[in-house]
Chains A and B, each alone.
Chain A
Amino acid sequence: MVEAVLRTERLTKHFGGLAAVNDISLEFFTDQIHAVIGPNGAGKTTLTSLLSGDLLPTSGRIVLDGEDIAGLSADRVSQRGVGRSYQKTNIFLPFTVFENCRLAAQSRLKSSMRFTRPALRYDDVSREALRALAEVSLEHRAQELAATLSHGEQRQLEIAMTLATRPRILLLDEPLAGMGSEESARMVALLQRLKQAHAMLLVEHDMDAVFALADRLTVMVNGSVLESGAPEQIRASAAVQEAYLGTEELHQ
């Protein structure tokens, strides 16, 4: 049997009296996209932040390559090969598009305690940054300031930054939110490609994309898992229909 690269065991996060993530056990495999859906406030972003080290869990374990990483800081988690993007675009707005990715790529050098050689003369780093930009088709905007990009382009840039850190595990929090249909289609194709070599957590509201991409699907409601399994199984579930998919379809 294939071992999960990443799994959570009874992961829980309380904000005061609120259990934003409640007793969640999930597994992530390379070559698979594990999509997490659920209404706003379900705890999807909190779950992502626990996995990325941005938040410390109240209890439970996060096992990466057989080792418990719950409690490690975000920079350590990142260095272990977990890359994330944020639901609320989180980039360096005053920097150029290229510099955003270059900084991300630079993080993979053994150390940045280097004080003499100009950063731009590290050709490997620059090449890696351009490669990541090419993945999201943003090379032509490389020299623009990130702040001048459209919302959709900023979302793409954020994905490129995540890729520039060469993660093995991707945690993507609503990567398609705010993208035009063309950008969306391109991103779906990219995620399909990335699936080959990565384990992926995909939090997404776009149901067409979710069902096109997901190998596993977990539905969260109020911090807990309502259902988890193969996409077809979820689609057929009466509980899910009632709690989530049904209402979603009503809106459309």
Chain B
Amino acid sequence: MRHSRLAAAVLFACLLALVLLPWFAEKYYIQLFTKMMIMAIFAMSLDLLVGYTGLVSLGHAAFFGLAGYVLAFAAPQYQAANLWLSLPLAMAVSGLLALAIGVLVLRTSGIYFIMVTLAFAQMVFFVFHDTKIAGGADGIYVYAKPVAAIAGWEPFSLENHTHFYFVVLVLLVLVYALLRMLLASLFGRVIVGIRVNEQRMRSLGYRTFRYKLVCFVLSGALAGMAGYFAAAQFGFVSPDILGWHQSGSVLMMVILGGMGTLNGAILGAFAMMLLELGFQGLPVVGGVDIGKHWQLLMGGFIVFVVLLLPHGLLGLGRLASRLLRKPAEAGDG
């Protein structure tokens, strides 16, 4: 009880900080935090699979990247796409890809599932890499950000970095709330049951395949939402956006923050991107450019977290709150 109240307070404080940030931060940081929130949505979509349903996907970037390409196609040359049409379209296309891939891969489990998700994502990668449909390996520009016009009226403009920031913040909160609702629903109970003991769920009468498939499609569509905004913000889409590097990176965020909590996925996304910047900014010491080798440091840090904190960075928070409470409770009694 007390733990959850504390967690809610921390969560609210973080939200408040995010809401206030644009009034205090420079453009660079506003854009940085926009990017982090986009990755947080991406990480939450994966957490639904990995942390809740127990499906470790190593091909999640395919859905993220495909939505980015959909935006690029919807905004040919210098013509801006309409947000209200292209966003649902991008999410639907990613969801459909997830449906097609899911029907095949969800018949496997464990290590085989990891391998086939990776294989399918690589197929998607090579479709964009080796054909000329969208600039091949060179990628394609999204010159104009989507416009949010409804019958001539524009409630906000994504060309404005502060507007962009708030749109992404609102979506982050919405996706979080949506997933919380989902996890508390009948559907949510079923997918968590599947993670814990799928065989038992089947023998209780659940057609587990269907639930996993719906979960996979939903997760793909949400990854698509993140990919759409990533492409819109960056203004450029290349095959890297759907490569295995990207898939591995988002999986790392989920593991780093703590699986199966949503909060951990957000924390992981923020932490990993901040760490990346922090490590990159390290100075040259004794002729060694430490910053240039940031990936080595990042790898080391992740190994450190995984070994010492089985519940990720979020586990650290829990540990701290328990330590803080101990003396207080002694005082109470």
A214 at the interface (CB under 8 A from B): no
B185 near A: Cβ within 8 Å? Answer: yes
Q: Is A3 an interface residue (CB 8 A)?
A: no
CB pair A115 B181 closer than 8 Å:
yes
- Collect the chain A residues with CB atoms within 8 Å of residue B205's CB: 75, 78-79, 107-108, 165
Q: What's the Cα separation between A84 and B201 when bound, in Å?
A: 12
B202 touches A116 (CB 8 A): no
B189 interface hit (Cβ, 8 Å): yes
Cβ of A114 within 8 Å of any chain B Cβ, yes or no, is yes
List the B side residues contacting A119 at CB < 8 Å: 184-186, 188-189
A107 to B196 CA separation, bound complex (whole angstroms) = 16
Q: Is the CB of A115 within 8 A of B187?
A: yes
What's the least CB distance linking A99 to chain B, in Å? 8
Which residues on the B side are within 8 Å of A79 (C-beta)? 205
> Is B189 within 8 A of A113, CB to CB?
no
Neighbouring B residues of A75 by C-beta, 8 Å: 202-208
Q: Which residues of B contact A140 (CB under 8 A)?
A: none
Is A112 part of the binding interface, using a Cβ–Cβ cutoff of 8 Å?
yes
Contacts of B188 in A (CB 8 A): 119
In the assembly, what is the distance between CA of A161 and CA of B193, in Å? 13
Q: Give which listed residue, A106, A113, A122, A161, contacts B214 with CB less than 8 A.
A: A113
Q: Which of B186, B200, B206, B211 contacts A91 (CB 8 A)?
A: B200
A148 touches B (CB below 8 Å): no
List, in ascending order, chain A residues with CB within 8 A of B181's CB: 115-116
Asked if B182 is at the interface of the complex by the 8 Å CB criterion, the answer is yes
Contact A114 B187 (CB under 8 A): yes
**Interface of A, helix, strand, loop or mixed by DSSP:** loop
Tell me, yes or no, whether B295 is within 8 Å of chain A by CB: no
Restricting to A76-133, which residues have a CB under 8 Å from any CB of B? 78-79, 84, 90-95, 99, 102-104, 106-109, 112-120, 122
Is the pair B204, A161 in contact by a Cβ cutoff of 8 Å?
Answer: yes
Asked if A73 and B202 sit within 8 Å, CB to CB, the answer is yes
Partner of A90 from the list B190, B200, B207 (CB cut-off 8 Å) is B200
Cα–Cα distance between A161 and B199 once the two chains are bound (Å): 14
Q: Is B109 an interface residue (CB 8 A)?
A: no
| With A106-B186, A118-B184, A118-B185 as contacts: A92 and B196 at CB distance below 8 Å | yes
Closest chain B residue to A111 by CB distance? B186
Output the least CB separation between A145 and chain B (Å).
12
* B186 & A112 in contact (Cβ 8 Å cutoff): yes
Q: Within 8 Å CB of B203, what residues of A?
A: 52-54, 74-75, 78, 84, 90
Q: Give the distance in Å from the alpha carbon of A107 to the alpha carbon of B197 in the complex.
A: 15
Bound together, the chains give a CA A103 to CA B193 distance in angstroms of: 8
- In the complex, A79→B207 CA distance in Å? 10
Q: Within residues 251 to 286 of chain B, which ones have a CB less than 8 A from any CB in chain A?
A: none
How near does chain B come to A1, taking the closest CB pair, in angstroms? 31
**Which chain A residues border B204 with CB–CB below 8 Å?**
75, 78, 103-104, 107, 161, 165
The 8 Å CB contact of B185, one of A73, A99, A108, A116, is: A116
Q: Which residues of B contact A118 (CB under 8 A)?
A: 184-185
**In the assembly, what is the distance between CA of A114 and CA of B187, in Å?**
6
Complex contacts, A74 vs chain B, CB 8 Å: 199, 202-203
Interface residues of B in 206-232 (CB under 8 A from A): 206-208, 210-211, 214
Query: Does A115 lie within 8 Å of B182, measured CB to CB?
Result: yes
CB distance from B319 to the nearest CB of A (A): 20
What is the bound-complex CA distance between A8 and B185, given in angstroms? 39
Q: Chain A contacts of B189 at CB under 8 A?
A: 99, 102-103, 106, 112, 119
Which residue on chain A has the smallest CB distance to residue B181?
A116
- State how many angstroms separate the Cβ of B57 from the closest Cβ of chain A: 21
B196 and A93 contacting across the interface, CB-CB below 8 Å: yes
A107-B185 contact given A92-B196, A94-B196, A112-B190, CB 8 Å threshold: no
The 8 closest A-B pairs by CB, nearest first: A78-B205, A107-B205, A114-B186, A112-B186, A118-B184, A107-B204, A74-B202, A119-B189
Given contacts A78-B203, A95-B193, A165-B205, 9 further A-B contacts (CB under 8 A): A92-B197, A106-B189, A107-B206, A113-B211, A113-B214, A115-B182, A118-B184, A119-B185, A119-B189
Interface residues, chain B, CB within 8 Å of chain A? 181-182, 184-190, 193, 196-197, 199-208, 210-211, 214
Enumerate chain A interface residues (CB-CB to B < 8 A): 52-54, 73-75, 78-79, 84, 90-95, 99, 102-104, 106-109, 112-120, 122, 161, 165
> Can you sample 18 A-B contacts with CB below 8 Å?
A75-B205, A78-B202, A90-B203, A91-B197, A92-B193, A93-B196, A103-B189, A103-B190, A104-B204, A112-B186, A113-B187, A113-B211, A115-B182, A115-B187, A116-B185, A118-B185, A119-B185, A165-B205
